[in-house]
């Protein structure tokens, strides 16, 4: 039935869901953002849910699916 949880399941809040999503997006770095443009690990949070690369200076979201090797 729609709207009914499975027995034993629990709801997670938005922050926990985002953290889990980041771990799935960047499993090799344990959820730390990797630039999808140049592959650099040196990225920082620009604003809520957005990052900027310290190397190529491009902005990206964790939903960006472009794959690059981690430097």
Would you give per-residue pLDDT tens digits along the chain (71 residues)? 555 666 677 888 988 988 898 899 889 999 999 999 999 998 999 887 889 999 999 999 888 766 555 44
Q: Is 71 exposed, middle or buried (0-12, 13-18, 19+ CB in 10 A)?
A: exposed
Distance CA 28, CA 35 (A): 13
Residue 46 has a CB neighbour count (10 Å cut-off) of 13
Report the predicted TM-score, pTM, of the whole model to 2 decimal places: 0.68
Radius of gyration of the chain (CA): 15
| CA 55 distance to own-chain centroid | 18
């Amino acid at each position: 039935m729609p709207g009914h949880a499975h027995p034993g399941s629990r709801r997670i809040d938005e922050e926990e869901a985002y953290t889990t999503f980041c771990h799935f997006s960047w499993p090799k770095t344990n959820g730390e953002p990797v630039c999808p443009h140049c592959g650099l690990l040196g990225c920082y949070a620009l604003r809520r849910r957005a990052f900027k690369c310290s190397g190529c200076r491009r902005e990206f979201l964790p939903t960006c699916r472009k794959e690059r090797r981690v430097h």
